[in-house]
């Protein structure tokens, strides 16, 4: 196959990109998007600050633009993200406790209901675990509403949109380490107690090669019975092309790895400005990393 999406489809997988609604008028950007990718993640447009800027007042304009672009070109959408300690609207940042818990659950239910039946997978909860060696939760006002906030969010999302896959998504989970093991233990607990969870997203914001146990780490989650997805892939460094190939081959080797998403299209679209971590250069030309991925799919 001659495009990322078509190559991934040969094994039933998808290949996606994070997309910004504000760039949908850029013809170079849209041409690459339409040609290469089969899945879209809104880069910011479905986050809490965008979708509920004032309490109880919902705004789906950016998210709907991206969803409509995807539907009209035959692509699917990963919803990102229902609850995250960053990009909370100011009103939620100032809340705590049972008031915040009620606002969180209303947000999950209302947004998931708006997009019901249209989302392939939701990042229900993003980045809830701490970095470093604790293996525990990250402190946040969300976490301080009670340790059960994650399972409550997953149950609310399932009730609102029974057909969307429900994912937990995080970074620095690229190998077997304390953080990924904390998440692994949560997923195992959810599966054993019937808390609805279908997938785990590995953001994979990398500098050079992933850890040597990257594939083994994906596999141990898959062995819990959840889908695994590479959700925000971008890689800096001189071994970029090789590292992209290694990550792609790891997904291909794990049967429950459903697909990969790069966090943007061209280097100039990246949130990691200056690191040129994507598959297309600023002019929209394919880089060596692109060929490395295509060959690995």
60 part of the interface to ligand XIL, by CB under 6 A: no
Nearer to ligand XIL, 23 or 144 (CB): 23
What are 284-291's contacts with CB under 8 Å, separation 24+? 284/28, 284/29, 284/31, 284/32, 287/240, 287/241, 288/240, 288/241, 289/235, 289/240, 289/241, 289/244, 290/4, 291/241
- Give the span between the Cα atoms of 2 and 131, in whole angstroms: 39
Q: Of residues 197-226, which lie at the interface with ligand XIL (CB under 6 A)?
A: 203
Q: Supply the minimum distance, in Å, between the C-beta of residue 7 and ligand XIL.
A: 25
Q: Which of residues 66-95 bind ligand XIL (CB under 6 A)?
A: none
Give the binding-site size for ligand XIL (rule: CB under 6 A). 6
Closest contact distance (angstroms) between CB of 235 and ligand XIL is 14
Give every CB contact of residue 10 below 8 A, 6+ residues apart in sequence. 1, 297
Q: Active site includes 232?
A: yes
Active site residue 127: yes
d(CA 277, CA 43): 16
Q: State the nearest-atom distance from the C-beta of 262 to ligand XIL, in Å.
A: 11
State which of positions 252-271 bind ligand XIL (CB under 6 A).
271
Exposure on the CB side of residue 254, measured as CA atoms within 13 A = 28
- Residue among 36, 38, 41 at smallest CA distance from 4: 36
The catalytically annotated residue of 43, 45, 127, 227 is: 127
In angstroms, rounded to a whole number, what is the distance separating the alpha carbons of residues 79 and 108?
Answer: 12
Considering only 38, 51, 126, 204, the residue that binds ligand XIL (CB under 6 A) is: 126
Minimum gap (Å) between residue 270 Cβ and ligand XIL:
8
Residue 197's H or E segment, with its range, is none
Tokens matching residue 169: 């998504």
Contact set for ligand XIL, span 29-48 (CB under 6 A):
43-44
Residues annotated as catalytic (active site), given as ranges: 127, 232
Q: Which residues bind ligand XIL (CB under 6 A)?
A: 43-44, 126, 203, 232, 271
């Amino acid at each position: 196959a001659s495009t990322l999406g078509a190559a991934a489809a040969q094994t039933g997988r998808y290949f996606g990109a994070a997309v910004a609604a504000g760039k949908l008028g850029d013809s170079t950007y849209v041409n690459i998007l339409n040609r290469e990718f089969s899945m879209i993640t809104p880069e910011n447009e479905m986050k809490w600050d965008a979708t509920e800027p004032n309490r109880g007042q919902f705004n789906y304009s950016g998210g709907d633009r991206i969803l409509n672009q995807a539907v009209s070109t035959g692509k699917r959408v990963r919803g990102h993200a229902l609850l995250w300690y960053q990009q909370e609207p100011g009103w939620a940042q100032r809340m705590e406790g049972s008031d915040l818990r009620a606002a969180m659950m209303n947000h999950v239910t209302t947004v998931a209901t708006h997009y019901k039946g249209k989302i392939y997978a939701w990042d229900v909860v993003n980045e809830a675990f701490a970095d470093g060696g604790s293996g525990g939760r990250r402190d946040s006002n969300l976490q301080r509403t009670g340790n059960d906030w994650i399972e409550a969010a997953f149950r609310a999302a399932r009730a609102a949109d029974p057909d969307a896959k429900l994912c937990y998504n995080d970074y620095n989970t690229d190998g077997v380490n304390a953080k990924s093991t904390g998440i692994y233990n949560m997923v195992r607990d959810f599966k054993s107690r019937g808390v609805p969870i279908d997938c785990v997203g590995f953001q994979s914001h990398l500098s050079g090669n992933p850890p040597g146990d990257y594939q083994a780490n994906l596999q141990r989650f898959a062995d819990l019975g959840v889908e695994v997805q590479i959700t925000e892939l971008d890689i800096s460094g001189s071994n970029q092309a090789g590292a992209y190939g290694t990550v792609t081959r790891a997904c291909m080797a794990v049967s429950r790895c459903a697909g990969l998403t790069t966090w943007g299209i061209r280097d100039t679209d990246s949130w990691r400005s200056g690191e040129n971590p994507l598959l297309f250069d600023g002019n929209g030309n394919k880089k060596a990393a692109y060929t490395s991925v295509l060959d690995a799919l």
